[in-house]
């Protein structure tokens, strides 16, 4: 079974929650009342509540923002960078403009004239392409890829998503503000 970016994030949050629960020797306790348990640090308590809340898709974005505000750190996997190749700059700008107008991404870099080598129909191809770096929330990746596939001039466009593991907390906060909640 293929795990989507959003579910990968929830799986990571679940694994982190399990580690926290093990550290606190609280086994089998899986509810949001976890915060009422006598935990030494209020910071750790908030982290646990955020991790519990993040298990539910509707609360994920709120949990990430709360985590960042309280701990001053970034919860890995909430944001992604999507690579998209285009045959020319105009195609990249047209695709990028719609993504931005629909508020599916916080920022897009368009890198001109990248040299590309690839196999296509059994032959090595050598081409010049434009590479787009789409910076967005992980939960938006599928919508962006669906849109790109529907308008892209290539039969099989390059669509590769990478989870952001670390980054500037201030930049991630700006990304959250630029992209409306799901």
Phi, psi of 42 (to 5 degrees): -65, -30
| Sole residue written with tokens 């669906």 | 146
Instruction: Provide the pLDDT for residue 28.
Output: 40
Is the Cβ–Cβ distance between 148 and 43 less than 8 Å? no
How far, in Å, are 54, 63, 113, 134, 161 from residue 67 at the CA level?
A: 10, 6, 40, 24, 24
Instruction: Provide the pLDDT for residue 13.
Output: 61
Per-residue pLDDT of the chain (182 residues; tens, 9 = 90+): 455 555 555 556 656 656 655 554 443 433 333 433 444 455 555 555 555 555 555 555 555 555 555 555 556 578 999 999 999 999 999 999 999 999 999 999 999 889 999 998 999 999 999 999 999 999 999 999 999 999 999 999 999 999 998 888 889 889 989 998 86
Which parts of the chain are beta strand (E)?
A: 79-86, 107-120, 123-137, 159-163
Q: Name which of 171, 173, 162, 139 is nearest 10 in CA terms.
A: 139
Bridge partners for 159 per DSSP: 84
* Cα 70 to Cα 35: distance, rounded to the nearest angstrom: 14
And the tokens for 164?
A: 């952001």
At 57-103, the pLDDT tens digits run 555 555 555 555 555 555 657 899 999 999 999 999 999 999 999 99
Instruction: Provide the pLDDT for residue 27.
Output: 38
| Sole residue written with tokens 């890829």 | 145
Q: Read off the pTM.
A: 0.63
* Cα 143 to Cα 133: distance, rounded to the nearest angstrom: 16
Instruction: Provide the pLDDT for residue 96.
Output: 98
């Amino acid at each position: 079974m293929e795990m989507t970016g959003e579910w990968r994030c929830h799986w990571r949050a679940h694994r982190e929650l399990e580690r926290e629960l093990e550290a606190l020797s609280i086994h089998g306790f899986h509810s949001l009342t976890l915060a009422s348990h006598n935990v030494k640090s209020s910071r750790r308590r908030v982290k646990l509540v955020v991790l519990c809340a993040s298990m539910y898709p509707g609360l994920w974005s709120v949990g990430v923002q709360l985590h960042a505000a309280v701990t001053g750190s970034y919860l890995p996997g909430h944001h992604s960078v999507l690579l998209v190749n285009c045959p020319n700059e105009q195609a990249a700008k047209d695709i990028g403009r719609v993504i931005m107008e629909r508020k599916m991404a916080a920022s897009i870099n368009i890198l001109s004239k990248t040299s590309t080598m690839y196999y296509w129909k059994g032959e090595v191809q050598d081409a010049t392409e434009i590479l787009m770096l789409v910076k967005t929330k992980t939960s938006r990746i599928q919508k962006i890829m669906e849109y790109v596939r529907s308008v892209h001039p290539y039969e099989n466009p390059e669509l590769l998503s990478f989870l952001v593991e670390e980054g500037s907390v201030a930049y991630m906060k700006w990304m959250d503000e630029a992209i409306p909640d799901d």
